[in-house]
Chain A
Amino acid sequence: MPGLGSLRNNTLVAEFFSQYMWSWAAYLLTGLIHCALLIQVGAVGALFFIWAERKVSGRIQDRLGPTRVGGMFGWLQSLADGIKLITKEDLMPDGADGLLFRIAPYISFCASFAALMALPFSDGWVAIPINTGVFFILAVLGLEVFGVILGGYASASKWSLFGAMREAAQVVSYEVPLGMCVVVPVLITGTMDLVQIGTFQEGWFTNWLILHDPFTFIIFWVYFTCALASVNRAPFDLAEAESELVAGFHTEYSGIRWSYFFMAEYGSMFAVSGLATILFFGGWNGPVPITGWLGLTHETGPIAGYIGNFLGLVNFVGKTSLFVIVMIWVRWTLPRLRIDQVMKMCLKFCVPIAAVMFLGATFWQRQFPGGVLLKTSYGDRYVVTEADTAAPAKSKDSAKPAAKTAGEASPGQPSADKTASVSHRVTKGS
């Protein structure tokens, strides 16, 4: 019977509840809890980031930004805006395609929030543990563009149509280098499971994949550029380029529907930033392994593990927010590219660089497995088990992925049973 300590996986949460109720009700309850939590992340996140956008842009531009609503710092400004947006008239142009026009914002909104389902917020804290989480997020985020295209097309406005077509061209192109960038961490860790990729970078910041080798260092910047482009942030905000296309795809939207597009935008900003954090910046593992020192791990006990996870969550959200703020910073600094320059940048720079870095990382992985720069920091934290030595594929590696995933035969097939793999890991340092 699973105890509180196993609250690291939603299946186990459901099992925990099923001790007290019917199992179908337990699963339903679990689902609802996850939904509620995620929508909170999305909604509160969007509110926070919109506030942050206004505040940061204000400071960048020598202004104060919002100062009054909610007392200090205008922290309730987004809520006030939201209330205003809800009370606004829901306009639709006469010539618009009613159904498509109405559902378009929801499609964007759902796509960007669905991506959060597979995003682990801390060690094992993920709504739906998917062993191909990386590609799930990319694929689902890619769906956001449908809402934009539909909205632009259905608006019966030429400016909206221009915006939609630009978005389609741009996002589809940038999916390619984005996918290539994401493959590199997958290649190094040998898994597409985001929880395992995060766990792989446990310990000091030197274990973060961005510092793994020169190729990962470069590819992070490519990833960040492509992520900016794929979530339509300046300097790639061509779909809503206000000085050219009035407001692009959302020219004709107003009120709450308009705000759904914005929530979607901030949701996907959060998602790609979260992905960057997990893939390159250690996820919930801080620059300093405080949780390890304090013994706040699941090995110590369930409560300690829970606290450790919570600290990890704070860590993760902090780093992700930092990336979002960098995106905001970039937006208020740079002029906008032109559509042909955006496409050229993708095809002539991002794709080739990503491809070369991918090959380089492959080569590095073969020649210096485990990373040559900071190799010593690995291995220290892992105990090589018999299962690892039995795995011939990883004999050169300092038994790093093997140590924690003893249950799996090869890196390409991550274990479905994560708890099993985690239990093999022993932290020495603490």
Chain B
Amino acid sequence: MATDLGDPRIIEFDVRTDEMLVNMGPQHPSTHGVLRLVLRTDGEIVSEVTPHIGYLHRCAEKIGENLTPRQYIPYTDRMDYLAGMNMNLGWALTVEKLLKLELPEKAKHLRVIIAEMGRIASHLVGMGAYGLDLGSFSPFLYAFREREKILDLFEKACGARLTYSYLTVGGATHDLPPGWLQECEDFLTQLLPIIEEYHALLTTNAIFVRRTAAIGIMSAEQAIGYGTSGPVLRGSGVDWDLRRDGEERYTELYDGYAFEVIVQKNGHYPNDHKYPAVPGVAVLGDCWHRFYVRMLEVMQSIDIVRQAIDRYSRASGTHGIPVKLNEKLPKGEVYLETEAPRGQMGFYLVSDGTSIPWRVRARSSCFSNLCVTHELCRGCLIADVPAIVGSLDIVMGEIDR
């Protein structure tokens, strides 16, 4: 609404009170770890948000210059600690790219199963934690209940529940134990109806929709320019998923799988008749869409895991090929990005011909997703800040590395 400043009835325009600087974090319930946001507020209205990161910096890149690639696998676990499997996978593929390793069929399908289960687990936490950001406590515990079952499965496969180090250079450390596939199938079967509950509790909840729709709108240009990726990028309507569009070495894992990129095209999501309708107030690129993309990706991952289980059980070969702990790396440099749950996780490896990399660089998805915060939060209310930051679904371990 344009205001005519010449109007004689207006005696004072744009009344401002004293601005206040508020530190949201690093100890704050909804900054997902140790993110610090400095808010410049005028009452409840936030005029500027400045993120400060680095509180969880653990020198992962420097450590990489002192360890062999296989020794480095546990450090990748600790980047995105909610999706350790996917971090393992990204690093393993990067090293394999440098080593020019070809994996047996079975190992590839095993990786798909594990990576997509990791994606489900991670998105469940993302969903639950987002509910928490908006003041709804219970979905968080429901999400953790289901995630626990995935962790149980992972524990059976590799013995660890958080830092797996399971997918390693050359495949996986172990094959899946007997009976695992059936348990996984059972889990997926019982997860499907529960997703409906989550839709009822959050996706379609009137308060939830009002809190998230048309909040933190990110245009496609912004999303691309700021280098966002994953559900954040797709939530803005950009049709881009590395599982389909990535490098050959990564997409070959998903060769022959039937899946569609979860993105709104012509006002529709793939198969959206099966899911709750997009509310009228939601705008493409807002918090609600980012959340919705995650929810649909869970459904899609369930589907992919089922296909992968089927193909894994028929596949030939072993779960991996042996790679020495101090395998000599050929001279050269490689960069590879994979589609981790939170976006594109990239590793850049420079080798000087020894078994220890010259330089390791981790391109964090959340790092790029977070750098758009100041744009999204401009002029919002204090209560919107957790809503927006939560919709980016960040993990500080990955941002600070």
Contact = CB atoms under 8 A, between A and B. Distances in A.
B278 to A, nearest CB: 18
Interface of A: 57, 60-63, 158-159, 162, 165-166, 234-235, 237-238, 241-246, 332-341
A335 B386 contact: no
Contact of A243 (B22, B135, B208): B135
B304 to A, nearest CB: 27
A335 B141 contact: no
Interface of B: 20, 22, 28-30, 43-44, 131-138, 141-142, 145, 201-202, 205, 207-208, 210-211, 381-386
Nearest to A336: B135
Contact of B135 (A165, A237, A246, A339): A237
A245 B175 CA distance: 47
Contacts of B383: 238, 241, 244, 336, 338-339
Contacts of A340: 44, 381
B207 A244 contact: no
A244 B381 CA distance: 10
Contacts of B138: 57, 60-61, 332-333
B136 A336 contact: yes
B136 A338 contact: no
Contact of B136 (A63, A162, A246, A333): A333
B211 A335 contact: yes
A241 B138 CA distance: 15
- Which of B29, B131, B132 has the most CB atoms of chain A within a 10 A radius of its CB? B29
A336 B390 CA distance: 14
B141 A62 contact: yes
Contacts of A238: 383
Nearest to A340: B381
A332 B137 contact: yes
A339 B44 contact: yes
A239 to B, nearest CB: 12
Contacts of B384: 338
Contacts of A333: 136, 138, 201
Contact of A335 (B30, B43, B208): B208
B145 A336 contact: no
20 contacts: A57-B137, A61-B141, A62-B141, A62-B145, A158-B22, A243-B30, A243-B135, A243-B386, A244-B30, A245-B382, A332-B138, A334-B136, A334-B205, A335-B131, A335-B208, A336-B134, A338-B210, A338-B384, A339-B383, A340-B381
Nearest to B130: A335
- Which of A61, A62, A237, A340 has the most CB atoms of chain B within a 10 A radius of its CB? A61
B381 A339 contact: yes
Contacts of A242: 29-30, 135
Contacts of A244: 30, 382-383, 385-386
